[in-house]
Structure 1
């Protein structure tokens, strides 16, 4: 497959310290590359290089013709602008038609539960809603290449699933996705190729992280419309902790989608999900 983005023989120093040494990376349409690594390994710096936001001292960054790049930093700096004004200004800077822009902002805000906060200044938003605005600004133009730094930070379970479903659909329609993340669930759901950034180099990870001893921990909140626990839960769950305000369910990874669907149909609200060792 022809590459839409390619980094060739990239090396970089900062104040005489070698950050990267002869890195090579390429991505084509419908691919998702996950870049993992310990804090301080340089994931964020590498992502800004791939997004064209950091100058390269040695090597070359090549994009296929007419490629639009979207970039989501790990955090969005809050200002006095409202989300609607902020997103509108970004759209105008990128010459997006105003009628399409208004419609896109409205539809995306509804999809990701941000409608009620569109007129609230960014500096007054919760961390989760600020991160939703950050996500929306990156996808606003539906770019050809999307580069994201820990996109699920601060999000509850339902929002994480909505973001993942949007990104799956984006990739299936031809988008190229590069993620800087250590989130095993996100990697398992989206990545076609995984690299670990270590000792200035990108090291290929041969397989997706699917250790047999790990299970999915799902946390559900009870709501006024919650019904009894679904009968299917007994067949799908490995362990259940049922409290007055929340239910914790452990399940095999491949059964977690069916379990979530059954719980949501019975009126429970998904509040969190992660891998754990049972």
Structure 2
């Protein structure tokens, strides 16, 4: 039976006389991803902020069944004089990591998101996309029970988007829960178990278009330099439609439904995901 972490019950929100959301009802389940869609200004960000206790509920209630660890990633990230690395390490230490643990985990994630050359620059000089990647890295530094993400792919390049989706897939496979506002169909199709649309202040469940469900993935991996990588797991060979290997890379083609398992197995075996292409036919 699914475990409900948070129940949103009859929630409404207004700012003065302006009604933003009305009678919102849904549940956040363990190990599930919810996508919130709708036009700009419809209330997606407000709903995320209410769940994160960053703004108040006007009517109704949001029930947290335990004191869950929640990490919120805003769409717009504040710039500062801190470097990205200093910020990430500081936040990791606030979350209970030692300084060395935060540095090590942060360095790994900076490499994964191709941010090595940007990590030591002041955040006030970073682009919107790079700031968004910094926010994602900070969120993935420690294991939260629930990730709340507001347009997480905003401003990110294609390679970083693919890495992000792989990381979130692994997080959910490991039992994490996600609620994200987004508009990219590839992200919705890749990650979402449920899709809700906010329209005219109300929330209703949406259905993905069938044309976006017929697809396969091409995954490119390489061995981690520090560990030397590992042996290709037998389960990967069984789940993949095609595997090609050379001295530097491993190319895997699989159905979209098997990609989550393959990525999890490869990351656990000491490989890094360097590219992921979603091909629809």
Q: Which residue does 2:35 correspond to in 1? A: 34
1:271 shift after superposition: 11
CA contact (8 A) 2:72 2:148 kept: yes
Q: Which residue does 1:50 correspond to in 2? A: 51
CA distance, structure 2, for counterparts of residue 105 and residue 213 of structure 1: 34
Q: Are positions 1:179 and 2:180 aligned together?
A: yes
TM-score (normalizing by structure 1): 0.74
* Aligned CA distance change for structure 1 residues 274 and 19 (closer, same or farther; 3 Å): farther
* Aligned CA distance change for structure 1 residues 212 and 118 (closer, same or farther; 3 Å): closer
1:85 shift after superposition: 1.3
Q: Which residue does 1:249 correspond to in 2? A: none
Greater CA radius of gyration, 1 or 2? Answer: 1
CA distance, structure 2, for counterparts of residue 143 and residue 109 of structure 1: 19
* Aligned CA distance change for structure 1 residues 97 and 66 (closer, same or farther; 3 Å): farther
Q: Which residue does 1:12 correspond to in 2? A: 13
CA contact (8 A) 2:44 2:181 kept: yes
1:208 shift after superposition: 1.9
Q: What secondary structure, in the 3-state scheme, does the structure 2 residue paired with 1:20 have?
A: strand
Q: What secondary structure, in the 3-state scheme, does the structure 1 residue paired with 2:211 have?
A: coil
Structure 2 unaligned runs (5+)?
Answer: 217-254, 260-273
Superposed CA deviations along residues 117-154 of structure 1, whole A, max 9, x for unmatched, are 11100011233222110211222222110010111111
Structure 1 unaligned runs (5+)?
Answer: 217-252, 258-268
TM-score (normalizing by structure 2): 0.73
CA RMSD of aligned residues (A): 2.8
Q: How does 1:32-181 map to 2 (within 5 A)?
A: 32-181=33-182
Q: Which residue does 1:203 correspond to in 2? A: 204
Give aligned pairs, total.
228
* Aligned CA distance change for structure 1 residues 271 and 161 (closer, same or farther; 3 Å): closer
CA distance, structure 1, for counterparts of residue 213 and residue 26 of structure 2: 32
